[in-house]
C-alpha cells in the first residue's frame, strides 16, 4: 500500500465543505458556508461573456490584468489614502484563501511563530503548521470577542514572525477599533514583525462604523500583506478572485510563490470585473444592503430561543443557545441540519483546540424568503 507521510496529520476536511455537504444531503437551508443565494448583477455575466467572445481566453499576466490592478490601486487610494503601485504592489489572486496561503508560504519558515486571533478562519492554522511554523493563538470569547492587548503581548517572543488580523471578523462579525490599531502599532514598532490583514469583508460593515484598513496606517502598511475579495464585493464568491496588496519587497516574495501556485487568475473574469469596477458606484450601498439583511435576520431570530451576539460586519450572525440546550455546538449544528433542516457552522471549528463556547454562526447573505423559511424552522426548536 502506498501511503503519504501527511503534512497535516491532525487536519480533516474544512468545516465549510462538511456542513455544505450535510446540508445538501438533508436538503437543509444552507446558512453555513458564507455565500449569497441570489445572483450577481447580470451585467457582470454579460461582461464575462463579451470578454470570452472577444478572445480574452488565454493566460492573463502572472500578476493580474494591468487594468484591474490599476483599479485596485485607485480604489485603495480613494478609500484609504494609501499609494500602492499597480505594477509592483498589487497582485490579483484566485480568491482570499489562495492569497493567504501564498503570503504565509512566502514568509513562514520552520520555527517561526504566528499570532492568530481565535476563533480564526480555518485555513490559517493548518497553513502555518504545514510550513513548519508555530501557531500562537489568542483566544477571544463571546459575547464581544474583544482583544486584551496586554495578553496578546505575552504571546510575543523572539521568534514571532507574523500577526494575522481579520476585520470585519469571520466568524464573529466583530471589527477592530482605533484603540486596537493603536495598540498594534505600539506592539510592532521597532520590530520586523509582519502583518497579514485579511480584509475580505471590508465593504460589509454596519451601524455607520468605518472599516479601519491597515492601509490607513503607514507604520503598519509597510509590514503588511492586505488581502481582499471580489467575491464578497460582487456577490460572486464562486468566481474565486481577490487580490493582495503589499509594499514592493513583500509583493516580490509573494509573487515568487504565486507564480508557481496559480501562475495567473482566469482572464475573462478579471476583464469583466475591471470593466464593472470602472463604475465606482459599485462600492456604495453594499453596507446598507447587508445591514438590512442583518437587521431583518436579527428581528426574525428574536422569535427563537437563540440569544444574539453583536454583529458589526461580515456575512455572519452568531448566536448562543443556553436557553435551548447544553449540547456541544457541533452536536447542535448536526441536529439542526438533520431534524430542522437548517445548516449553520459550529464556532468551535475555528479554534485550534475546538474550544466550545456554545456558539453557532449563521450566514445572512441570503434572500429574505430564505431567512424567513430558515427561522420558521428554528422557531420550533
Ligand atoms: N469564507 C467562507 C465562510 O467563512 C467560506 C470559504 C470557503 O468555503 N472556503 O463561510
Residue 372's domain is classified under what CATH number?
3.90.1150.10
Q: Counting atoms of ligand 1 from 1, which one is nearest the CA of 363?
A: 10
> Is residue 230 domain-resident?
yes
Burial of residue 168 (number of CB atoms within 10 Å: 0-12, 13-18, 19+): buried
Same domain flag for 219 and 329: no
* Torsion over CA: 150, 351, 158, 200 (sign): negative
For residue 83 the three cell numbers come to 499609494
> Is residue 88 domain-resident?
yes
| Pairing relationship of beta strands 194-198 and 160-166 according to DSSP bridges | parallel
The rounded Cα 46 to chain-centroid distance in angstroms is 27
Q: Is the CB of 170 under 6 A from ligand 1?
A: yes
> Is residue 8 domain-resident?
no
Same domain flag for 293 and 238: no
pTM of the model: 0.97
* Helix/strand/coil for 20: helix
Q: Which of 19, 36, 170 to mutate to test the pocket of ligand 1 (most atoms within 8 A of CB)?
A: 170
What is the chain's Cα-based Rg? 20
Same domain flag for 193 and 270: yes
Q: Is the CB of 95 under 6 A from ligand 1?
A: no
Same domain flag for 100 and 183: yes
- Considering 244, 279, 314, which residue would you say is the last residue of a domain? 279
Same domain flag for 65 and 80: yes
CA-nearest residue for atom 2, ligand 1, is 34
* Helix/strand/coil for 180: helix
Q: Which of 93, 100, 237 to mutate to test the pocket of ligand 1 (most atoms within 8 A of CB)?
A: 237
For residue 326 the three cell numbers come to 447544553
The C-alpha angle 114, 350, 148, rounded to 5 degrees, equals 60
d(CA 88, CA 355) in angstroms, rounded, equals 41
Q: Counting atoms of ligand 1 from 1, which one is nearest the CA of 170?
A: 4
Give tens-digit pLDDT for 35-79. Answer: 999 999 999 999 999 999 999 999 999 999 999 999 999 999 999
CA-nearest residue for atom 1, ligand 1, is 34
Same domain flag for 109 and 215: yes
Residue 103 near residue 245, CB atoms below 8 Å: no
Closest by alpha carbon to 74, among 88, 93, 90? 90
> Is residue 180 domain-resident?
yes
Query: What's the domain range around 321?
Result: 15-40+284-378
Same domain flag for 275 and 306: no
Q: Is the CB of 264 under 6 A from ligand 1?
A: no
Residue 132 near residue 110, CB atoms below 8 Å: yes
For residue 69 the three cell numbers come to 490592478
CA-nearest residue for atom 9, ligand 1, is 16
Q: Which of 14, 16, 22 to mutate to test the pocket of ligand 1 (most atoms within 8 A of CB)?
A: 16
Residue 149's domain is classified under what CATH number?
3.40.640.10
Please tell me the distance between residue 202's alpha carbon and the centre of ligand 1 in angstroms.
15
Q: Counting atoms of ligand 1 from 1, which one is nearest the CA of 97?
A: 9
> Is residue 19 domain-resident?
yes
End-to-end alpha carbon distance in the chain: 48
* Helical H segments across 94-207, by residue range: 96-107, 124-130, 149-154, 178-188
- Considering 234, 260, 279, which residue would you say is the last residue of a domain? 279
> Is residue 9 domain-resident?
no
Please tell me the distance between residue 123's alpha carbon and the centre of ligand 1 in angstroms.
9
Please tell me the distance between residue 292's alpha carbon and the centre of ligand 1 in angstroms.
22
For residue 360 the three cell numbers come to 453557532
- Considering 231, 261, 279, which residue would you say is the last residue of a domain? 279
Same domain flag for 259 and 307: no
Give the phi and the psi of residue 197 in degrees, each rounded to 5. -110, 110
d(CA 199, CA 314) in angstroms, rounded, equals 10
DSSP string, 214-272: GGG-HHHHTTEEEEEEHHHHHT-GGG--EEEE--HHHHHHHHHHHHHHTSS--HHHHHH
Q: Is the CB of 16 under 6 A from ligand 1?
A: yes
Q: Is the CB of 34 under 6 A from ligand 1?
A: yes
| Pairing relationship of beta strands 359-363 and 345-346 according to DSSP bridges | antiparallel
- The single-letter DSSP state of residue 122 is T
Same domain flag for 196 and 291: no
Three-class SS string for 186-215?
Answer: HHHCCCCCEEEEECCCCCCECCCCCCCCHH
Please tell me the distance between residue 96's alpha carbon and the centre of ligand 1 in angstroms.
10
Same domain flag for 143 and 210: yes
Same domain flag for 156 and 73: yes
How many CB atoms within 10 Å of residue 195?
22
For residue 240 the three cell numbers come to 474565486
Same domain flag for 365 and 267: no
Per-residue confidence of the chain (381 residues) as pLDDT tens digits?
A: 899 999 999 899 999 999 999 999 999 999 999 999 999 999 999 999 999 999 999 999 999 999 999 999 999 999 999 999 999 999 999 999 999 999 999 999 999 999 999 999 999 999 999 999 999 999 999 999 999 999 999 999 999 999 999 999 999 999 999 999 999 999 999 999 999 999 999 999 999 999 999 999 999 999 999 999 999 999 999 999 999 999 999 999 999 999 999 999 999 999 999 999 997 688 889 999 999 999 999 999 999 999 999 999 999 999 999 999 999 999 999 999 999 999 999 999 999 999 999 999 999 999 999 999 999 999 998
How many CB atoms within 10 Å of residue 268?
19
Provide the pLDDT for residue 252.
98
Q: Which of 15, 35, 119, 232 to mutate to test the pocket of ligand 1 (most atoms within 8 A of CB)?
A: 35
> Is residue 2 domain-resident?
no
Please tell me the distance between residue 16's alpha carbon and the centre of ligand 1 in angstroms.
6
Give tens-digit pLDDT for 330-342. Answer: 999 999 999 999 9
Count of structural domains within the chain: 2
d(CA 223, CA 245) in angstroms, rounded, equals 11
> Is residue 115 domain-resident?
yes
- The single-letter DSSP state of residue 95 is S
- The single-letter DSSP state of residue 313 is B
CA-nearest residue for atom 3, ligand 1, is 34
Q: Is the CB of 33 under 6 A from ligand 1?
A: yes
Three-class SS string for 19-51?
Answer: HHHHHHHCCCEECCCCCCCCCCCHHHHHHHHHH
Residue 96 near residue 229, CB atoms below 8 Å: yes
Amino acid at each position: 500500500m502506498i501511503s503519504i507521510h501527511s503534512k497535516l496529520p491532525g487536519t480533516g476536511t474544512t468545516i465549510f465543505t462538511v456542513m455544505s455537504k450535510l446540508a445538501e444531503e438533508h436538503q437543509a437551508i444552507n446558512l453555513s458556508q458564507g455565500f449569497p443565494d441570489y445572483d450577481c448583477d447580470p451585467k457582470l455575466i454579460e461582461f464575462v461573456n463579451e470578454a470570452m467572445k472577444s478572445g480574452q481566453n488565454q493566460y492573463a499576466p502572472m500578476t493580474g490584468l494591468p487594468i484591474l490592478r490599476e483599479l485596485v490601486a485607485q480604489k485603495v487610494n480613494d478609500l484609504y489614502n494609501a499609494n500602492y503601485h499597480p505594477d509592483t504592489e498589487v497582485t490579483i489572486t484566485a480568491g482570499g484563501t489562495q492569497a493567504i496561503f501564498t503570503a504565509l508560504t512566502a514568509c513562514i519558515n520552520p520555527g517561526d511563530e504566528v499570532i492568530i486571533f481565535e476563533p480564526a478562519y480555518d485555513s490559517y492554522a493548518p497553513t502555518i503548521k504545514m510550513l513548519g511554523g508555530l501557531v500562537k493563538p489568542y483566544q477571544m470569547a463571546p459575547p464581544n470577542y474583544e482583544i486584551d492587548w496586554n495578553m496578546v503581548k505575552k504571546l510575543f517572543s523572539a521568534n514571532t514572525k507574523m500577526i494575522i488580523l481579520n476585520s470585519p471578523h469571520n466568524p464573529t462579525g466583530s471589527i477592530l477599533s482605533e484603540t486596537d490599531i493603536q495598540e498594534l502599532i505600539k506592539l510592532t514598532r521597532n520590530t520586523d514583525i509582519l502583518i497579514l490583514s485579511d480584509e475580505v469583508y471590508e465593504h460589509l460593515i454596519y451601524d455607520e462604523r468605518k472599516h479601519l484598513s491597515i492601509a490607513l496606517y503607514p507604520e503598519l502598511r509597510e509590514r503588511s500583506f492586505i488581502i481582499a475579495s471580489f467575491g464578497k464585493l460582487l456577490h460572486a464568491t464562486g468566481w474565486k478572485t481577490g487580490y493582495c496588496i503589499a509594499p514592493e519587497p513583500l509583493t516580490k516574495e509573494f509573487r515568487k510563490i504565486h507564480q508557481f501556485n496559480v501562475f495567473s487568475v482566469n482572464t475573462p473574469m478579471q476583464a469583466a470585473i475591471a470593466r464593472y469596477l470602472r463604475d465606482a458606484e459599485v462600492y456604495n450601498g453594499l453596507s446598507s444592503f447587508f445591514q438590512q439583511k442583518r437587521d431583518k435576520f436579527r428581528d426574525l431570530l428574536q422569535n427563537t430561543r437563540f440569544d444574539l451576539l453583536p454583529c458589526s460586519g461580515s456575512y455572519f450572525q452568531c448566536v448562543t443557545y443556553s436557553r435551548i440546550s447544553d449540547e456541544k455546538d457541533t452536536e447542535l449544528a448536526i441536529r439542526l441540519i438533520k431534524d430542522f433542516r437548517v445548516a449553520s457552522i459550529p464556532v468551535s471549528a475555528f479554534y485550534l483546540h475546538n474550544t466550545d463556547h456554545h456558539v453557532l454562526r449563521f450566514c445572512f447573505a441570503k434572500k429574505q424568503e430564505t431567512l424567513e423559511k430558515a427561522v420558521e424552522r428554528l422557531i420550533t426548536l
